[in-house]
Structure 1
Amino acid sequence: MEGWTMKPNVNRAPSATMPAAVALLQQCRACLGQVSDEQYTASCATMFGATIGQHMRHTLDHFIAAMDALEDETIDYDHRERDTDVEKQRRIAMDTIDTLCALLQATPVEAADRLVTVRVMLSPDGQETELTSSFARELAFATHHAIHHNAMIAVIAHEMGITMPNDFGKAPSSIAYEHARLTASREMRG
């Protein structure tokens, strides 16, 4: 398998980001169904005291920021509230996920191409930069960003003895690679 690369399977429709985001959010919701309220807020020494709730709040903040751009055309990922009810109460996080999924499913496909401004802080001196992007691009960012936080949630869950699905917190490209590799291995064996 040395030098193996995947051939791109490209969907050029930006609207494909919306169902992908919904699927990821539904995966987050299913995760929350596997943990108790106590586990949701329990700190993890391996993750420097972080909680599942903190990672979930951070994930949802990015989706909320992206969705807010449909109203005011500016996304600001850096000015987020911390220590909110979403990170302290699992039920509120689940309700937030349900709301985001409903909003995404009701969003017209034309919104994917909508131009937005992203305000981002690139250094701790507080200086911000504004960049032009699209709603679809930022939704794709929020989705991929969430995958990495799901990986951290999986570590926290594992420390508590909770088993998450094998693909939880794993990038789609990694899942596709592993699937292709397994398929190729089976074909080689005949």
Structure 2
Amino acid sequence: MKKLIVSSINHNLTNAVALLNEIDSETYCDTSIGPYYSSIGSHIRHTLDFFDCIITGLDTNNIDLTARKRDEVLSTNKEAAKDHIYTIQKTLLSYIDVNTEYLIHVTDDMGQGKVKVNYTLESILTHANSHAVHHYATIGYILDQLGVELKIPGFGYNPTTPINKREGI
């Protein structure tokens, strides 16, 4: 496993912890912003579900992204979410010296039924990190609509976004 992948993901997850440390529980659970009326907590939970599916499926070489736990505690309890992030980060660190030269079967639903495709551990983790960034951008939108101003450099931006276009949240 490439150390840079784990380091990058853990940095991204640490940004989520920084966010959780800065907002209150009411903001974390607020579902008043359209058009989807989802909370910051539900987006954090969803991104953690993605990592959980990967971690859970590795032992059987069958990662099923449609079998998410959807643990509502993570959607409503910031401390539980932070603890879960720390657990994921620790697990990812244990992958650094793992051989990743094999294919992993990943099941997902692309809208027309489940499909199984092959990934490497590095590619599915890279996908999970990009997925998290996408949800962080949505969290940034929710915060903006709620009038909450935070500065977490790069939060919600793809790393390839030019620096002069980034403002953080």
User: Equivalent residue for 1:129?
Assistant: 115
Alpha-carbon RMSD across the aligned residues, in angstroms, is 2.0
Counterpart contact for 1:78–1:120, Cα < 8 Å: yes
User: Equivalent residue for 1:178?
Assistant: 163
How many residues align? The count is 164
Cα distance in 2 between the residues matched to 1:78 and 1:163:
34
* 2:134 pairs with 1:151: no
When residues 163 and 53 of structure 1 are mapped into structure 2, their CA distance, relative to the original with a 3 A threshold, is: same
TM-score if structure 2 supplies the norm length?
0.87
2:107 match: secondary structure: strand
* 2:144 pairs with 1:161: no
Q: Which runs of 5+ in 1 are unaligned?
A: 1-12, 182-190
Cα distance in 1 between the residues matched to 2:4 and 2:145:
35
Which structure has the bigger radius of gyration?
Answer: 1
4+ residue stretches of structure 1 with deviation over 3 A? 111-114
Cα distance in 2 between the residues matched to 1:40 and 1:70:
31
- Tell me by how many angstroms 1:106 deviates: 2.2
- Tell me by how many angstroms 1:47 deviates: 4.3
2:63 match: secondary structure: strand
> Aligned partner of 1:84: which letter?
E
Counterpart contact for 2:33–2:145, Cα < 8 Å: no
- Tell me by how many angstroms 1:83 deviates: 5.8
> Aligned partner of 1:172: which letter?
P
Identity, % of aligned positions: 24
- Tell me by how many angstroms 1:85 deviates: 0.7
Q: Which moved more, 1:108-117 or 1:32-41?
A: 108-117
